[in-house]
């Protein structure tokens, strides 16, 4: 069965500085982040004619381009799968901002669709723009006779929220198990329409995982 791979972008300066960075077009990759993109491509060689797509953010596009260079494959940019917007907390790295962000993220993972940071997005808003893209990719590539794996380069917080929603992942697990840069979640769409998670970064499903210091992981 073809699978959907939700891949977090490579490292940016904002990640290093623990800065809340969600506004578009956003930060670019560090040199190390660029190497992460190439390494992902080399460590995940194509076994079929996979599809590579990315969000409109600079860091996602650059990561996908580097993966594509290792695969000798092109990538397409899709709207709607950028990071959930943090509004008034944008650009901040102080403890108060991190605590406020964590509080709202906790509410999101526990199903509060309307919780939002002032000036930012709610979980429902993320679902409304992100899930139709997943549906379109699934219909086009994951079902039917000519199936292809899909690699979507996106963003840590959005990936965890969307993957947890699709695969009905325990909220506590999804909240605690961050994705490192170029970490990925691997999902399969079964014939009965249910999504199953097969991979969640380096964590063992449905147990394990440790917090890391990057708030956007």
pLDDT in tens, 161-211: 999 999 999 999 999 999 999 999 999 999 899 999 999 998 888 643 333
Kindly report which listed range (47-51, 73-77, 99-103) carries the lowest average pLDDT score. 47-51
CB-neighbour burial class of residue 145 (10 A; exposed 0-12, middle 13-18, buried 19+) = exposed
Give the integer Cα–Cα distance in Å for 186 and 168.
Answer: 14
Residue 185, preceding bond cis, omega within 30 degrees? no
Q: What is the pLDDT of residue 207?
A: 41
CB-neighbour burial class of residue 125 (10 A; exposed 0-12, middle 13-18, buried 19+) = middle
Average pLDDT over residues 36-53: 91
Give the integer Cα–Cα distance in Å for 89 and 204.
Answer: 32
- Encode pLDDT of 96-115 as tens digits: 999 999 999 999 999 999 99
Q: Indicate the domain borders of the chain.
A: 3-200
CB-neighbour burial class of residue 60 (10 A; exposed 0-12, middle 13-18, buried 19+) = buried
Q: What is the pLDDT of residue 215?
A: 61
User: What CATH number was assigned to the domain covering residues 3-200?
Assistant: 3.40.50.1240
């Amino acid at each position: 069965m073809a699978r959907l791979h939700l891949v977090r972008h490579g490292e940016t300066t904002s990640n290093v500085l623990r800065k809340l960075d969600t506004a578009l077009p956003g930060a670019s990759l560090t040199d190390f982040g660029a190497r992460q993109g190439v390494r992902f491509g080399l460590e995940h060689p194509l076994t079929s004619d996979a599809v590579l797509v990315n969000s409109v953010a600079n860091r996602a596009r650059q990561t996908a381009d580097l993966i594509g260079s290792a695969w000798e494959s092109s990538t397409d940019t899709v709207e709607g799968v950028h990071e959930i917007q943090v509004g008034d907390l944008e650009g901040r790295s102080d403890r108060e901002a991190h605590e406020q962000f964590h509080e709202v993220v906790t509410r999101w993972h526990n199903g509060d669709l309307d919780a939002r940071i002032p000036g930012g997005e709610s979980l429902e808003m993320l679902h409304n723009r992100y899930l139709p893209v997943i549906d379109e990719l699934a219909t086009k590539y994951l079902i039917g006779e000519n199936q292809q794996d899909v690699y979507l380069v996106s963003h840590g917080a959005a990936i965890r929220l969307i993957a947890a929603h699709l695969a009905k992942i325990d909220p506590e697990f999804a909240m605690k198990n961050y994705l490192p840069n170029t970490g990925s979640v691997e999902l399969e769409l079964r014939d009965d329409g249910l999504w199953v998670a097969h991979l969640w970064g380096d964590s063992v499903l449905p147990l394990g995982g440790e917090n890391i210091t990057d708030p956007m992981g």
